[in-house]
Amino acid sequence: MYLPDMRDSILKINPLRGRSAIPTERETVMEQKNESKQKAEKAGESKLSPQESLMIPKHRFDCVNLCLKDTKEALIQTSAQADAQKIRIDELEKSLVESKVETILAQHRAKNLTAVKALIDFSILYLDHDGNVPKAEEQVLALKKSQHYMFEESFDTAYVLVPVKSGEPLHKSIINHININNRRVKK
């Protein structure tokens, strides 16, 4: 707020720039408030009663309320996002436990994965800090003893996943894999 008739009182030397500058509206208002306070102190009288001096100006109150409202909205939004993330993490852990159990069942040569999975108690299964499912192996072994007909008998046959290069016939990939492994065994 610049008033042309107060030009001389508004112009002052800015110590940071070393030249005359026009102060901002805020600086002008603050300067006027400080001057009025100094005059009141010199006169020995206070314009505000003790109760009024403890009150917060309305514009400051509105500003704080607006900030508080924004903060509450942000907090609610953040907590909703955190809840959604927790649900997503639980779903991912559950699917990881299921895939680990399926892997264990495949290693023990289950004939029907779906039927055997239905007999496993997933409520006690969990992921440990290493990403393993500690009690799954025990349950599968117990099922293998009690429901042996659901598993193929093992004849110490090892199944190997053979890496297949794209575009290469399967029989060539198997032959290459066998030759590479034979070379390693001979060394």
Distance of CA 176 to the CA centre of its chain: 45
Q: Is the pTM value of this prediction over 0.75?
A: no
Q: Where are the domains of the chain?
A: 1-44, 94-177
Contact criterion met (CB below 8 Å) for 101 and 120 = yes
SS3 151: strand
Q: Which residues pair with 151 in a beta bridge?
A: 110
For residues 159-165, average pLDDT: 62
Distance of CA 132 to the CA centre of its chain: 23
* pLDDT tens-digit readout, 32-81: 777 777 766 665 555 556 666 677 788 888 888 899 999 999 999 999 99
C-alpha distance across the termini of the chain, in Å:
91
* pLDDT tens-digit readout, 133-154: 888 888 899 998 998 888 888 6
